[in-house]
Every structure is written in structure tokens, then in C-alpha cells.
Amino acid sequence: MHLVRGILPGAKKVIIYGPEGIGKTTFASRFPLPVFCDTEGSTKALEVARFDVIKDWQDVFDAIKFVEADPSCCKTFVLDTADWAEMLCIKYTCQKGGVNGIEDFGYGKGYTYAQENFKKLLDELNKLIELGINVVVTAHAKMRKFEQPDEMGAYDRWEMKLTRQIAPMLKEWADMVLFANYKTYVVEDDKTKSKKAQGGKRVMYTTHNPCWDAKNRYGLSDCVDFDYNTIKEIIEGNAKEPETVPAKKEKPVKEEAPTDTPKAKEPEVIVPEHIKKLKELMAKDGIEEDRLVFALASKGICFTGEHLENIDPVFLKENVIGQWAGFSKYAKKLDMNMEEIQFN
């Protein structure tokens, strides 16, 4: 047994889930040399490699065994999607148990049996990881009313469209759980007080929030563009093995005669015009940056602690600078001690 330190390079286990039609399959197709285990027929319009027949639970295992036998055929194995694969798993579980439906086992036993069968699938996928092949699992998302027993009220949250036995196991197995969604802004007109939704930009959430499940182990920002390039370095970058470098003897530093050579100028920081204008308005009304950002976060526009330069410039121009009178009043009266809630 040896003690190993440092970052260990290797294949990644990634889950991508979100509402239908947002582009999960297309996103997965950007991974290095992917081959799809297409359980629902969603890759027909994509120029990708796929297994031709995935009709039952055994077909999924056969696809994995095919890659195990010839690891050079791909660099990424994509299971698309987990919820359709789960339906195949439940059907197989019922056939094996000689029942017509999962509820016929009684007392929740059927779901436990299905969980055990799905665990065998994850064990097989781990063998691909050991061969250096990335594993990507896509899943649909569903919204569920969530109530905490020790809290008042309830709220909606996004979850993977899986049973409560399989979803937690799948999330624990993954290195990254990425939630893709459309980011929209609800804007109130100062004159009519009517509200309307704007935006619709596709984004990807990478950390846990009361309104969705997500995680990553690579220091990603809480919210990034729904673009493979945002994680490309993590997937394709190779971490260097830790090296032992012998200490060098320090040489005495020679004192050099002063010269008249001028020092290089520090690079000039260019501030966008809309940020300059916004800061002028803030200074005029005595609103500090952290209060303004908190006001934006309370409306779901960004996260607390975000820099103004990283917030959507179009939104800042049209809905903050363009409606400054109303927004400044809102920011001034906002209680910054209240619990922030993100609406997306």
C-alpha cells in the first residue's frame, strides 16, 4: 500500500439533467469521441455513433460490454437517458419477479429490487471509468413541491425524473451533477406595475441550491453558460502527477547599481461604459455595490457576492440603468439581513 498525494488524472462521471428540449443530448455529443447508448431514440438527428438496438435492460449491459471489449472505440460512453433506462430496469425487475407491475411486490420491495439492479449498472459503468473512458448520463428534470417539516410553507424544486430510490444513488456516484435550465428575469414596469418575463438564456448550474440538485468537485462557478467549453478543460485536461523537486541552493544576490530605466507601466484596466454609468448613479444615490448586487440576487438575477462586470450587461442597461428611479428605491428599502431566495 502506498500513500498518494496530489490530483489524480482520470475519466469523469458526469450527469446532465434538465427540461426536455434544452439540448442535453447535443451537449453530451461534444464530449471526446462519444458513443451513445440511446434508450429513447433522441440521437436520430445527430451525427454521432450509437448502438443500434437498445430495447431492454440486457441491451444496456451488452453495450457496456462491447466497449469493455474494445476500449478504443470511444473516449466517452453516453447513457441517454437515465429515466428511460430506469423504465427498462423496472420492466426487467418485474419480469424477473413474475409480477405485472412494480407495486405488485408489496411494501415497496419492488423499488428496492430495482435499485439493486440499477446499482449493478453503475458497477459496470465504473469499469469503463477504470479503462479511462468518460461516462456521461443524461436525464430529464421534473418539478416537485417540496415541504420541509421544520419550516413554514413550501416551494418548487427541480429534480431528476427518477424514483426516490435510484436518484440519490446516481447523484452520489457522479463527479459532476449539472442542471441545465433557461434563465429568465421577471421585470416590473414602473408605470403600469405589470410584470413580464425576459431572457431565456440557457445556463448550467453546478452547485446545490434549495431549488435544484447540482454539484462539482472542480471549483466551477455556481452558474455558467450551457456550453461544453465551460468544462472542456476539466474533461480533456490532464493533471500532472506530483513531482519531487530537490531544493536548489540560493545564490548570493549581487547588488546592482541603480539605473534610470523607467518601470513598466501597469496595464490599464478598461471599465465598460455601462458599469461607469451604473456606478455614477450608485454614488449619486448613496447605494453601495454589495447592496445593489443583493437587490439583484433577491430577484434571481445573480448570486450574492457577484461582481457587477459578470452580470448580464443587457439586463443592467435596460432594467437597472434604464429604470433607475424605481430600482434604487427598491434597493434602498431592501433588508439585507433577510434570507435570499433564488427564482429561476
pLDDT number for residue 259: 53
The helix/strand/coil state of 52 is: coil
Ranges 7-11, 86-90, 167-171: which has the least confidence: 7-11
pLDDT at 220 over 70: yes
pLDDT number for residue 295: 81
Mean pLDDT of 64-89: 93
The model's confidence at residue 77, banded by pLDDT at 50, 70 and 90, is very high
Instruction: Please give the grid coordinates belonging to residue 333.
Output: 428599502
pLDDT top residue among 6 and 102: 102
Backbone angles phi, psi at 224, to 5 degrees: -135, 170
The Cα–Cα gap between 205 and 225 comes to: 9
The Cα–Cα gap between 320 and 317 comes to: 6
pLDDT number for residue 245: 44
Domain boundaries, the chain: 13-236, 273-333
Q: Which residue has the cell 450509437?
A: 50
Candidates 183, 179, 181, 226; CA nearest to 14 is 179
The Cα–Cα gap between 112 and 107 comes to: 10
DSSP 128: H
pLDDT number for residue 2: 75
The Cα–Cα gap between 98 and 95 comes to: 5
Query: Could you name the CATH architecture of 13-236?
Result: 3-Layer(aba) Sandwich (3.40)
pLDDT number for residue 211: 84
Please write the tens of the pLDDT for every residue from 126-168: 999 999 999 999 999 988 876 655 555 566 788 899 988 899 9
pLDDT number for residue 241: 40
pLDDT number for residue 209: 83
The Cα–Cα gap between 251 and 258 comes to: 20
Please write the tens of the pLDDT for every residue from 279-318: 888 898 888 888 888 887 776 676 666 777 777 777 788 7
The model's confidence at residue 269, banded by pLDDT at 50, 70 and 90, is low
Average pLDDT value over all residues in the chain: 81
The Cα–Cα gap between 15 and 332 comes to: 41
Confirm if 93 and 113 have CB atoms less than 8 A apart: yes
Angle at which helix 289-298 crosses helix 324-333, to 10 degrees, equals 100
Mean pLDDT of 238-267: 50
Confirm if 92 and 103 have CB atoms less than 8 A apart: no
Secondary structure, 3-state, 318-342: HHHHCCHHHHHHHHHHCCCCCCCCC
Mean pLDDT of 253-265: 53
Confirm if 185 and 199 have CB atoms less than 8 A apart: yes
Ranges 106-110, 197-201, 246-250: which has the least confidence: 246-250
The Cα–Cα gap between 135 and 124 comes to: 11
Q: 260-293 burial, b if ≥16 CB within 10 A, otherwise e?
A: eeeeeeeeeeeeeebbeebeebbeeeebeeeebb
